[in-house]
């Protein structure tokens, strides 16, 4: 089964304006598939997972480009940063757009090389696993999320998602291998177990020379257990039997790999009582569910982490709605020393849009009472949303709507 991706049009458009296009994201989310599909008619394809191709790219990058001339797709380009200078030279001589399509799963190594060699010549796009709209066959409806758009543009052909269905989606995650396989429940555990082993063996050891695989795995589990929470580096280090410095380094590695996202608080010089510590989210809830040993969707739905995993799922869907349209959201959370908290705050055109996530089908005014705390910033407050398990979008207060999870 093949599913259309929202990014297909964005990649084509961006390629017309830049000589180089880079698509980044964690492994096995479909980067190669989408690039090969779009470039099948007129592009060569080479993967640097291939040892021979990688050796040539690293030792003789000029001959590599002669052997694989543009227009070309170079997969997992982080393995040969030596290519970047030669790609720049070729792009500058050619003065054409759409020459090189690159993919990579290690942002730090990619961005370091690009900032040094390809600045101003490359369009950088971030990609995640399937969004729910893509899974449901409605990729063109996956527009950047704002609560006010829900009121003006109803989802066409959507049906309400029940609580069991929502937590089934959370438990399965968004990797194409799982979503497009008819026996998804049977392969979920096998897939994620293999994914973690491969990630640690290939990326962590290859790029960061971390030899203590067991401690890194324990660290990964400890981070998954804290999704949606403020980071406490001391407790995290203690659980993983490492020091705080190592914990911070390993968090950076997870962030560079696209595994996690650190969400920072919204603040300004006017409001000085906000908390400065970031919150941590996994960008795939299936991976987080596996690491936290939730064996079934039902156990997850009834377990202690159900609320934080629902919040994480909503966060990932919001990020997909922007990244898959070639945009970057100004998204934050809010929490002050009076314990007033708003799960997410999106800033657009100097307006703040507050969002709360609740595991309820019947939200009320208590669920959005913290929204008014944002008035301290002296900025317009747009339509707010309580994203929940209701079956339809309805107004639940002045400039506040309840949004079903399935409408993201």
Per-residue three-class SS string for 264-302: CECCCCCCCCECCCCEEEECCHHHHHHHCCCCCHHHHHC
Residue-wise DSSP of 54-103 = HHHHHH-HHHHHHHSPSSEEEESGGG-TTHHHHHHHHHHHH--SS-EEEE
Does 369 have pLDDT greater than 80? yes
d(CA 14, CA 76): 19
Residue pLDDT, tens place only, 267-280: 765 445 455 889 99
Residue 135: the pLDDT is 92
d(CA 314, CA 312): 5
Domain ranges of the chain: 7-126, 133-407
Residue 373: the pLDDT is 93
Question: Which H or E run contains 134?
Answer: helix 132-135
Question: Which H or E run contains 248?
Answer: helix 244-256
Q: Are 178 and 188 in contact (CB under 8 A)?
A: yes
d(CA 291, CA 295): 10
Across 54-82, average pLDDT: 94
Beta strands at 341-348 and 331-335: parallel, antiparallel or unpaired:
antiparallel
Name every residue whose Cβ is closer than 8 Å to that of residue 52 and which is 6 or more positions away in sequence: none
Reported as a pLDDT band with limits 50, 70 and 90, residue 59 is very high
d(CA 370, CA 374): 8
Q: Are 359 and 388 in contact (CB under 8 A)?
A: yes
d(CA 245, CA 259): 20
Closest residue by Cα to residue 334 from 353, 360, 319, 306 = 353
Residue pLDDT, tens place only, 163-215: 899 999 999 999 999 998 866 777 888 999 999 988 877 777 766 777 788 88
The percent of residues above 70 in pLDDT, for the chain, comes to 92
Tell me whether residue 175 is exposed, middle or buried, using C-beta atoms within 10 angstroms of its C-beta: 0 to 12, 13 to 18, 19 or more: buried
Does 109 have pLDDT greater than 70? no
User: Is the N-terminal amide bond of 346 cis, ω within 30° of 0?
Assistant: no
Q: Count CA atoms within 13 Å of residue 253 on its CB side.
A: 22
> pTM of this prediction?
0.93
What single-letter DSSP state applies at residue 1? -
Q: Are 65 and 86 in contact (CB under 8 A)?
A: yes
Reported as a pLDDT band with limits 50, 70 and 90, residue 158 is low
Residue-wise DSSP of 144-177 = PP-HHHHHHSPPTT--PPPHHHHHHHHHH-S-HH
Across 306-323, average pLDDT: 97
Beta strands at 44-47 and 122-126: parallel, antiparallel or unpaired:
unpaired
Compute CA distances 264 → 191, 280, 313, 347, whole Å. 31, 9, 17, 13
- ∠ Cα 292 295 297 (to 5°): 100
Name every residue whose Cβ is closer than 8 Å to that of residue 214 and which is 6 or more positions away in sequence: none
Region of 357 on the Ramachandran plot (φ > 0 left; ψ -120 to 50 alpha; else beta): beta
Across 282-308, average pLDDT: 96
Q: Class assignment of domain 7-126?
A: alpha beta
Q: Is 22 helix (H, G, I), strand (E, B) or coil?
A: strand
Residue 270: the pLDDT is 45
Residue 191: the pLDDT is 92
Residue 339: the pLDDT is 82
Residue 54: the pLDDT is 95
Higher pLDDT, 2 or 262: 262
Across 5-30, average pLDDT: 94
d(CA 334, CA 374): 8
Reported as a pLDDT band with limits 50, 70 and 90, residue 329 is very high
CA 42 to chain centre: 30
CA 195 to chain centre: 17
**Partners of residue 357 on adjacent β-strands:** 387
Residue pLDDT, tens place only, 338-349: 888 999 999 999
Q: Are 285 and 309 in contact (CB under 8 A)?
A: yes
């Amino acid at each position: 089964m093949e599913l259309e991706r929202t990014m297909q049009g964005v990649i084509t458009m961006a390629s017309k304006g830049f000589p180089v296009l880079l698509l980044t994201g964690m492994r096995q989310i479909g980067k190669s598939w989408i690039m090969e599909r779009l470039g099948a008619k007129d592009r060569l394809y080479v993967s640097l997972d291939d040892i021979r191709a990688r050796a040539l790219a690293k030792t003789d990058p000029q001959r590599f480009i002669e052997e694989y001339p543009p227009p070309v797709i170079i997969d997992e380009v982080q393995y040969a940063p030596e290519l970047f200078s030669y790609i720049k030279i070729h792009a500058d001589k050619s003065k054409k757009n759409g020459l090189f399509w690159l993919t990579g799963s290690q942002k730090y190594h990619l961005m370091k090389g690009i900032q040094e060699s390809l600045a101003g010549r490359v369009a950088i796009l971030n990609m995640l696993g399937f969004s729910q709209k893509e899974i449901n066959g409605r990729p063109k409806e996956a527009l950047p999320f704002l609560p006010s758009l829900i009121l003006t543009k109803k989802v066409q052909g959507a049906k309400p998602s029940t609580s069991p269905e929502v937590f089934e989606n959370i438990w399965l995650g968004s990797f194409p291998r799982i979503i497009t396989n008819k026996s998804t429940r049977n392969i979920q555990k096998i897939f994620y177990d293999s994914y973690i082993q491969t990630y640690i063996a290939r990326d962590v050891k290859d790029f960061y020379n971390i030899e203590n695989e067991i401690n890194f795995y324990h660290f990964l589990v400890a981070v998954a257990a804290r999704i949606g929470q403020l980071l406490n580096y001391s407790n995290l280090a203690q659980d993983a039997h490492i020091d705080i410095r190592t914990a911070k380094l390993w968090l950076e590695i997870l962030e560079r790999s696209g595994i996690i996202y650190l969400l920072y608080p919204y603040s300004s010089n006017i409001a000085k009582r906000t908390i400065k510590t970031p919150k941590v989210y996994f960008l795939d809830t299936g991976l987080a569910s596996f690491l936290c040993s939730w064996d079934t969707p039902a156990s997850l739905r009834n377990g202690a982490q159900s609320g934080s995993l629902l919040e994480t799922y909503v966060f990932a869907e919001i990020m997909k709605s922007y990244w898959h349209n070639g945009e970057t959201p100004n998204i934050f959370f809010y929490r002050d020393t009076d314990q007033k908290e708003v799960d997410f705050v999106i800033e657009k055109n100097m307006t703040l849009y507050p969002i709360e996530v609740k595991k309820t089908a019947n939200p009320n005014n208590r669920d959005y009472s913290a929204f008014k705390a944002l008035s301290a910033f002296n900025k317009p407050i747009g339509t707010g949303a309580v994203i929940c398990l209701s079956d339809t979008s309805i107004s639940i207060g002045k400039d506040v709507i309840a949004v079903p999870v399935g409408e993201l």
